[in-house]
């Protein structure tokens, strides 16, 4: 995992992680998986990823070849011996900078061959030889890349906190901006779409984190997270009219129609574009675990936006606007109303939807009364215990 992002290329191990994700995905056809498996195995052989190969062979993803595994292990042992010799030579004959570089080379080799624990341990040793805050930050970025490869959210969270603490000691803006994208990806992968959207939007004009994903993919994530996180005015200012997004959005299939049809209230076009995007969301290793949740949230946003304009509207008119049947709208809205996602009621006899927007002040008053009652009950119980 070298700094692939510096020359605009995605980190090869993260590309490999995506291929592994697709290999286990039920929606990818068997013919495509044959090519994926061949590409994946070629990359594993090229980087001598013995530990990963052994693990996947045990899981039945790859076929076990004992001779190949032995060859990879032998090459790893030989390379580690050479790296240890360079470290020993640097410590005896060279300066602190050369010693650090020798330790860093060993760290990067462990990352390359997929030895997670050894890589993390060696990165700590390298950090002990590092003085500059910027170089320490680079080590944290290597750790974050390991975390995203293995989807180790605990490691990612701790590394982000560590990076923020380092920035209190100093650090340049380029690395700070890169960290925003890393944190945004972590937030998106852990279903904190609101914070992810905020961090992505802050990074649009300063994006340099090509080691994680391409700029097109970054814009895709930015739009996807913003649609369910921003209000209509903010969406217009920060996303719909953003020149950086306008320059790229047309390259991502269905994304422009998805965003603009939502903002322009063209609901039939929106549903068509949304259905086109679902495959891309489903085949994304960061978004796929939240696919059903995201589908619900998007529909909540679009149904709420439609109903905002009416005090009452016929089911037939709403179904026509969305290009679906009345029965579909009936079933959809029933679920969302029952879940408290939409503030309206269905008059089934008249075939009419009546909105009942919540009064914010009244809701706050009711919540205060409820909390007060709860507090009084707790005090009474406590007083009885004290009296005893």
Question: Which residues, 6 or more positions from 219, have their beta carbon under 8 angstroms from its beta carbon?
Answer: 204, 244, 245, 248, 249, 252, 255
Whole-number pLDDT of residue 6: 46
Distances (CA, A) of 251 to 27, 55, 217, 246: 24, 37, 10, 10
The H-or-E segment that residue 352 falls in is: strand 352-355
Closest to 45 in 3D by CA, of 63, 60, 25, 18: 63
The CATH number for 7-167, chosen from 1.10.260.40, 3.30.230.10, 1.25.40.570, 3.30.70.20, is 1.25.40.570
Question: Which residues, 6 or more positions from 237, have their beta carbon under 8 angstroms from its beta carbon?
Answer: none
- Using alpha carbons only, what angle is made at residue 319 by residues 270 and 328, rounded to the nearest 5 degrees? 95
Q: Cβ–Cβ contacts within 10 Å for residue 27, how many?
A: 9
Whole-number pLDDT of residue 388: 56
What angle do helix axes 255-263 and 291-308 make, rounded to 10 degrees?
Answer: 30
pLDDT tens per residue, range 125-150:
999 998 888 899 999 999 999 999 99
Question: Residue 220: exposed, middle, or buried by beta-carbon count in 10 A (0-12, 13-18, 19+)?
Answer: buried
Reported pTM: 0.86
In the structure encoding, which two tokens stand for residue 148, read together?
């995203």
- Cβ-contact 274, 322 below 8 angstroms: no
Whole-number pLDDT of residue 159: 96
Closest to 144 in 3D by CA, of 227, 209, 231: 209
Whole-number pLDDT of residue 5: 46
- Using alpha carbons only, what angle is made at residue 188 by residues 187 and 194, rounded to the nearest 5 degrees? 75
pLDDT less than 50: residues of the chain: 1-7
Cα(3)–Cα(5) distance, integer angstroms = 5
The sign one gets for the Cα dihedral 268, 272, 273, 278 is: positive
In the structure encoding, which two tokens stand for residue 35, read together?
């090519």
The H-or-E segment that residue 314 falls in is: strand 312-314
Domain boundaries, the chain: 7-167, 172-285, 358-387
Using DSSP, how many helices (H) and how many strands (E) does the chain show?
19, 3
> What's CA 359's distance to the chain center, in Å?
35
């Amino acid at each position: 995992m070298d700094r692939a992002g510096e020359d605009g290329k995605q980190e090869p191990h993260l590309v490999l992680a995506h291929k592994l994700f697709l290999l286990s995905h039920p929606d990818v056809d068997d013919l495509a998986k044959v090519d994926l498996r061949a590409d994946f195995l070629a990359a594993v052989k090229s980087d001598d990823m013995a530990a990963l190969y052994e693990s996947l062979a045990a899981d039945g993803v790859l076929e076990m070849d004992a001779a190949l595994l032995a060859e990879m292990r032998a090459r790893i042992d030989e390379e580690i011996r050479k790296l240890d010799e360079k470290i020993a030579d640097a410590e005896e004959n060279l300066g602190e900078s050369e010693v650090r570089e020798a330790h860093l080379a060993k760290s990067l080799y462990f990352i390359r061959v997929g030895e997670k624990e050894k890589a993390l341990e060696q990165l700590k040793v390298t950090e002990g030889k590092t003085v500059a805050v910027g170089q320490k930050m680079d080590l944290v970025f290597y750790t974050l890349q390991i975390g995203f490869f293995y989807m180790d959210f605990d490691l990612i969270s701790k590394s982000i906190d560590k990076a923020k603490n380092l920035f209190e000691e100093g650090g340049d803006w380029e690395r700070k901006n890169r960290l925003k994208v890393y944190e945004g990806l972590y937030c998106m992968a852990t279903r904190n779409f609101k914070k992810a959207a905020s961090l992505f939007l802050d990074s649009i004009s300063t994006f340099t984190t090509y080691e994680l994903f391409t700029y097109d993919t970054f814009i895709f994530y930015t739009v996807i997270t913003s649609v369910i996180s921003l209000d209509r005015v903010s969406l217009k200012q920060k996303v719909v009219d953003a020149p950086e997004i306008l320059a790229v959005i047309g390259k991502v299939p269905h994304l422009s129609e998805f965003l603009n049809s939502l903002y322009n209230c063209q609901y039939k076009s929106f549903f068509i574009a949304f259905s086109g995007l679902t495959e891309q969301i489903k085949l994304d290793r960061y978004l796929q675990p939240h696919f059903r949740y995201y589908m619900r949230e998007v529909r909540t946003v679009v149904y709420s936006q439609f109903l905002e304009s009416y005090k009452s509207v016929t089911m037939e008119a709403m179904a026509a606007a969305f290009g679906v049947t009345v029965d579909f709208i009936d079933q959809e809205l029933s679920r969302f109303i029952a879940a408290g996602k939409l503030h309206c009621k269905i008059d089934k006899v008249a075939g009419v939807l009546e909105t009942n927007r919540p009064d914010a002040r009244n809701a706050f008053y009711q919540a205060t009364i409820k909390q007060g009652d709860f507090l009084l009950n707790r005090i009474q119980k406590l007083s009885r215990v004290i009296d005893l």
